[in-house]
């Protein structure tokens, strides 16, 4: 129904409507008005003698016209159990409190603007109707809103200046004592996640690991957040070192130094140690092969050729998702020599490919597979063996010989 019984009082062309849902605002003359209700919906209404007609503006057709477009498809890998990951890498995320400088606002700018416009309009309408008392009160409210906005802006700028001052000390005398001397006590715990992330990032960028235990002990309520920040950044450092799937002694030493200086959970330390051990063995295999490069190459291991399948599709918050996993195409003994590689099946059927046709190799240890791009083949050849790290070492050695 579009009809209702109205109760309220106009102040000039402005009308304020207070309800359980909040504050509404409308403008117009008797019999015809347009406004915004407490939920932000625009409407028109009109009528006389207490009986009114009201209708919201912008129906379903209008909503369709402003619908946010779909985002790019996100692909999620689902382990179907046909492979064994060689490297169970930790999945860390950066706490939201560490991503940006906190806002020093008791009330958002949006609401400050809305309140300012509402009370300013009310004040003008009241003066126009000769209601001086209402006009003066609302004018004072507008002044208070402006003062609050200016105060918030000054406090925010002071906070940015504080951040700049702390950053200037990262390379010299930054410490818990220096942090407390610069940051007001009531802001120390709130600002620390961002500063801590920024400081730890500076350490990694400049390869100067610093002890962080003092900060952990001083702020126990956010200790979990601070540890999450360190795990995230150290995981990023490891990922950067392993882009070429080869962990050099210098890279390993750098990671070990940060692991010693920072305060990290025992489970994370153990997972990191296992990961470094895996890539250390891979490095040793490559070194062994390079010293015996003149010998004939012979590699055999139980293996599979896989196909990637789409398992599920769905949409959440207008973001399309696609879940993919592997299915076994053929299974048998994977082999490789100086000229060919392939898979021998129990039925004696053999799939053979030429080494010279390999154009690219993508090793994904967290999935336990190698994806080979071959000349003349549209789709990638997905390989999984029970000795992937040795196979990767052989391929790395062959690449080194051809460069």
User: What is the per-residue pLDDT across 26-41, written as a single tens digit (0 to 9) for each?
Assistant: 545 455 455 545 445 5
Q: How far is CA 144 from the centre of its chain?
A: 38
**In the chain, pLDDT over 70 holds for what percent of residues?**
63
DSSP E strand boundaries for 154-198: none
R_g over Cα of the chain: 33
**CA distance linking residue 241 with residue 22, whole number of Å:** 55
In this predicted structure, what is the pLDDT of residue 361?
Answer: 84
Per-residue CA distances from 47 to 31, 58, 59 (Å)? 5, 21, 22
Overall residue count recorded for the chain in this entry: 403
**CA distance linking residue 254 with residue 167, whole number of Å:** 23
**CA distance linking residue 282 with residue 393, whole number of Å:** 6
Tens-level pLDDT at each residue, the chain (403 residues): 344 334 444 444 445 444 444 445 454 545 545 554 544 555 555 554 444 445 554 544 444 444 556 668 888 889 899 988 766 555 667 888 888 888 755 555 555 566 556 656 665 665 566 666 655 666 666 666 666 667 777 777 888 888 899 999 898 889 999 999 999 898 899 999 999 999 999 999 999 999 999 999 999 999 999 999 999 999 889 888 876 667 888 999 999 999 999 999 998 998 888 888 877 877 777 677 666 555 566 789 999 999 999 999 999 888 899 999 999 999 999 998 888 899 998 877 899 999 888 888 888 877 889 999 999 999 999 999 998 877 877 776 665 565 5
pTM: 0.56
In this predicted structure, what is the pLDDT of residue 245?
Answer: 62
Give CA angle at 332 (330, 333), nearest 5°: 135
Quickly tell me which residue has 């080194």 as its tokens.
400
CB 38 within 8 A of CB 21: yes
**CA distance linking residue 202 with residue 256, whole number of Å:** 17
H or E segment and range at residue 17: strand 14-19
**In the chain, pLDDT over 90 holds for what percent of residues?**
33
CB 196 within 8 A of CB 226: yes
CATH code 2.30.29 region(s) in the chain: 298-402
**CA distance linking residue 177 with residue 200, whole number of Å:** 17
* Residues forming beta bridges with residue 322, ordered by sequence position: 75, 313
In this predicted structure, what is the pLDDT of residue 276?
Answer: 85
Does 298-402 carry CATH code 2.30.29? Answer: yes
In this predicted structure, what is the pLDDT of residue 296?
Answer: 61
* Nearest partner of 332 among 360, 306, 354, 362, judged by Cα: 306
CB 126 within 8 A of CB 138: yes
Buried b (16+ CB within 10 A) or exposed e, 215-253: bbebbeebeebbbbbbbbbbbebbeebbeebebeeebbe
Q: Residue 176: CA atoms inside 13 Å, Cβ hemisphere, count?
A: 10
Six token digits for residue 170: 């990262």
In this predicted structure, what is the pLDDT of residue 176?
Answer: 93
């Amino acid at each position: 129904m579009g009809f209702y019984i109205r109760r309220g009082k106009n102040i000039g062309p402005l009308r304020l409507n207070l309800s359980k849902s909040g504050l509404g605002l409308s403008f117009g003359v008797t019999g015809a008005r347009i406004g915004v209700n407490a939920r932000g919906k625009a409407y028109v209404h009109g009528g006389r003698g207490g009986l009114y007609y009201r209708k919201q503006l912008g129906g379903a057709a209008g909503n369709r016209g402003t619908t946010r477009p779909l985002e790019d498809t996100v692909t999620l890998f689902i382990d179907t159990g046909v492979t064994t990951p060689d490297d169970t890498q930790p999945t860390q995320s950066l706490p939201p409190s560490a991503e940006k400088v906190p806002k020093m606002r008791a009330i958002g700018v949006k609401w400050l603007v809305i309140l300012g416009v509402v009370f300013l309009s009310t004040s003008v309408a009241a003066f126009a109707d000769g209601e001086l008392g209402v006009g003066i009160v609302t004018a004072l409210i507008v002044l208070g809103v402006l003062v609050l906005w200016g105060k918030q802006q000054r406090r925010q700028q002071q906070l940015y200046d504080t951040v700049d001052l702390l950053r200037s000390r990262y390379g010299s005398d930054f410490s818990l004592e220096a942090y407390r001397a610069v940051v007001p006590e009531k802001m120390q715990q709130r600002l620390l996640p961002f500063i801590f992330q920024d400081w730890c990032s500076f350490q990694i960028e400049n390869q100067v690991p610093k002890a962080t235990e003092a900060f952990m002990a001083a702020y126990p309520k956010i200790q979990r957040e601070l540890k999450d920040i360190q795990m995230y950044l150290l995981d990023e450092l490891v990922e950067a070192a392993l882009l070429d799937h080869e962990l050099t002694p210098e890279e390993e030493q750098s990671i070990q130094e940060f692991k010693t200086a920072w305060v990290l959970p025992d489970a994370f330390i153990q997972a990191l140690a296992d990961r470094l051990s895996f890539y250390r063995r891979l490095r040793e295999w490559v070194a062994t092969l390079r010293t015996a490069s003149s010998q004939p190459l012979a590699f055999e291991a139980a293996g599979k050729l896989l196909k990637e399948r789409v398992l599920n599709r769905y949409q959440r918050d207008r973001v399309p998702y696609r879940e993919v996993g592997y299915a076994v195409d053929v299974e048998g003994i994977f082999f490789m020599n100086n000229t060919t590689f392939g898979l021998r099946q129990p039925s004696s059927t053999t799939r053979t490919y030429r080494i010279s046709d390999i154009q690219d190799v993508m090793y994904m240890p967290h999935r336990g597979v190698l994806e080979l791009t071959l000349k003349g083949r549209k789709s990638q050849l997905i390989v999984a063996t029970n000795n992937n790290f040795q196979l990767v070492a052989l391929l790395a050695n062959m690449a080194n010989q051809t460069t």
